[in-house]
Amino acid sequence: METIVQRLICLVIGYAFGLFQTGYIYGKLHGIDIRKEGSGNAGTTNALRVLGKKAGIITYIGDMVKAVLAAMVVRLIFGQSHADIIMVLVLYSGFGVILGHNFPFYLGFKGGKGIAASSGVIVALGYWPLILLGFCTFMIVTIISRYVSLGSLVMMTGFLVEFIIFAVNGMIPGLYPAELVEAVVIVAILTVLAFWRQRANIVRLVHGNERRLWGGNKEKNSN
């Protein structure tokens, strides 16, 4: 029962941090409801297209950092008393951040798509091979294809595969065999959620009418 409560606490902590909608807040400060402009999404790519590069960068950093901050709070609360399950608790906080970002109650549960926040979850785990592989995967795929959505989906797929490989081989600090399956399930849920939130983008990619990051077709995208 105690372990369930701890996991729920981490989910709630994450959800609270996820409610900070960087793109929406930045837009409001500039007299714009970003959810009523462009793709209608409150994430990084729409902020970039509607409000410019500065807004895109600020939105990405804000949405990424909130996952890191949530993990820091969880580590401060449970890091010493529950060191044996801390990595799982960090993943629960990350899951909460994604839920808060994607489904903020005060915005009618209409938020972003959670890609920038998901990258923050990867950073929050603190395992550099995962961080570097995720960054390189996203950048290479996005630059070559010029599709942010494709880069995001490949990054999340890579995250799941890489996490499983590293976890099974005991290479992730703080993740022990007893929690391995649970951790993999959480990462799998985050990946499935990313695909579900980007389902419209996937359809456009298949039909060849997804808007590229620069030049090309029209897209309603991304984080």
pLDDT one digit per residue (tens) for the chain, 223 residues:
668 999 999 999 999 999 999 999 999 999 998 888 887 788 888 888 888 889 999 999 999 999 999 999 999 999 888 999 999 999 999 999 999 999 999 988 988 899 999 999 999 999 999 999 999 999 999 999 999 999 999 999 999 999 999 999 999 988 999 999 999 999 999 999 999 999 999 999 999 888 887 765 544 444 5
Q: H or E element: which one contains 62?
A: helix 53-78
Q: Are 212 and 221 in contact (CB under 8 A)?
A: no
Q: What tokens were used for 221?
A: 């995208």
The whole-angstrom separation of Cα 176 and Cα 173 is: 8
